[in-house]
Structure 1
Amino acid sequence: MNTLKITHIEKITPDVLQIRTSKPSDLEFKPGQATELFINQEGWKDEGRPFTFTSLPENDHLEFVIKTYPDHNGVTEKLLDLKAGDELLQTDVFGNIYFREEGTFIAGGAGLTPLIAILRNRNKYGDKNENNKLIFANKTKEDIILKDELEQMLGSNFINILSREKTEEHEHGQIDQTFLKKHIFNLQQKFYICGPDPMIESVVKDLKELGVDDENIIMEE
């Protein structure tokens, strides 16, 4: 188990924390993969939760973007009390969501986190002709995580849909077949899907009905 010292912690949306920590010299992971973190304080050292690395493997620090649930009285609420200098404990690396080839990334809320590192990696190392698209579902505009960075990386290939707020610039509603048909023109590409279970089930069902093969649908196992 590695000990990570927090170097930076801040809220980047009303309920999402960005935490940067020290990085163990022997740690290896693929962009999109996750680890289990524990708070290194009495009463919390056995309360592990999975969180995705949003930093890139070559960075000299680790970064995690974490949605907090203050009403759950659990680990993410406790994270809100932490500050620079506090410590986390980190264990094994795991995760099936990592880059295979270009495609469409579909995320709901905090399900964006595995996709952040993949898209950062592709922005840095991908072929200039690589054409990745991100469809991001949230409740309101202020819930959109890392909006400016994603717009800068993806331009018009960054598509937002909001379920609880109508705006001029974003679509409104849920990701359904009509929405997917409007934004997806190649059914032979890879589809990377991450979000709440009901959303994943619905999107996978819709993609399959549209003709996407199982082997082209990538999600957490």
Structure 2
Amino acid sequence: MLIDYLVFRVDFFIPGMETVGGFSVCSSPGLWNKEQIIELAVKYTHHPPAHWIHTKCTLGSLVEVRVGGGLYFDPIPSDHTVDLLLVAGGVGINPLHSILMHSVDLLRLKNQNTPRQTHLCYSAKNSKELLFKNSIIGVCQEFPDKFTCDFRVTQQEFEIEPDLQCYTSSGKISQEVLRPHVKPGRTLCYLCGPPPMIECVSRDLQCLGLSMDKILYEKWW
């Protein structure tokens, strides 16, 4: 079975456990197509499914998964004219990293569905909490005319690592940060983060002229 679109999360069913886990997919569909593997981002908490994964799950453990939620990334041929804007807050980077890597795979395959440009704007407390930073920077360096990124840190209390300095700025994601990357009629935005951030960024995007049907997110935190 080939997968050519990307879902944000899966529901995770553990035998003998009533509580269902909902975990972000952080890998590209290409990984499944090549190796029949999906990678999930699971933060350590005492929530039963997450706690089980971190304390009891071993190689060979059997679970069931199914597509969760109604949000997905499924580019179509006309998307080669689309500018893709990915806006992440904290661990909201997980599904957006998946979209980023899917876009990279499409580009490498010379797929006609590849977005024209992709920009990632990602906010975290400090540079230590910027997940996937190495793979994100690697993509931007490999394809500088197609992929760009802007890391924002809000509570940085130490010097930013030298290899991150040219990608990282202090302060929250604001209208002024987003403005250069919003082109009404051409920009499609995927947004993932804490609900207050989603609401704030969504308002800012609308003020910049982006219509609601071009701002995609799912509040499931």
Name the TM-score class by shorter chain: 0.7 to 0.9
Output the CA distance in 2 between the equivalents of 1:85 and 1:129: 38
- Answer yes or no: is 1:30 the counterpart of 2:5: yes
Specify the alignment match of 1:171 in structure 2.
169
Deviation at 1:38, TM superposition (A): 2.1
2:86 is the alignment partner of 1:105: yes
Asked if structure 2 preserves the Cα contact closer than 8 Å seen for 1:32 and 1:115, the reply is no
Look up the match of 1:160.
Answer: 151
Give the match for residue 50 of structure 1. Answer: 22
Q: Give 1:112 deviation, angstroms.
A: 1.8
- Residue 136 of structure 2 aligns with an amino acid whose one-letter code is L
**Residue in 1 that maps onto 2:71:** 96
1:64 is aligned, of 39, 47, 56, to: 39
Whose strand proportion is higher, 1 or 2?
A: 1
Residue 181 (structure 2) aligns with: 184
- CA deviations on 1:197-216 (whole Å, 9 max, x unpaired) are 11100100111112211221
In structure 2, the CA distance between the partners of 1:86 and 1:129, relative to structure 1 (3 Å rule), is closer
Q: Distance in 1 between matches of 2:196 and 2:37?
A: 30
Secondary structure in structure 1 of the residue aligned to 2:203: helix
Higher helix proportion: 2
Q: Provide the aligned C-alpha RMSD in A.
A: 2.6
For structure 2, the 5+ residue unaligned runs are none
- Residues 77/139 of structure 1: CA separation in 2 closer, same or farther (3 Å cut): farther
Q: Which residues of structure 1 form unaligned runs of 5+?
A: 1-25
Question: Take 1:74 and 1:163, find their aligned partners in 2: how far apart are those partners?
Answer: 31
- Rounded to whole Å, the distance in 2 between the matches of 1:129 and 1:97 is 15
TM-score normalised according to structure 1 size:
0.74
Q: Provide runs of 4+ in structure 1 moved above 6 Å.
A: none
C-alpha displacement of 1:185:
5.1
Give the aligned length: 191
- Which amino acid is 2:52 matched to? K
Give the Cα–Cα distance (whole angstroms) in 1 for the partners of residues 3 and 85 of structure 2.
Answer: 26
Distance change (3 Å), C-alpha of 1:137 and 1:65: farther
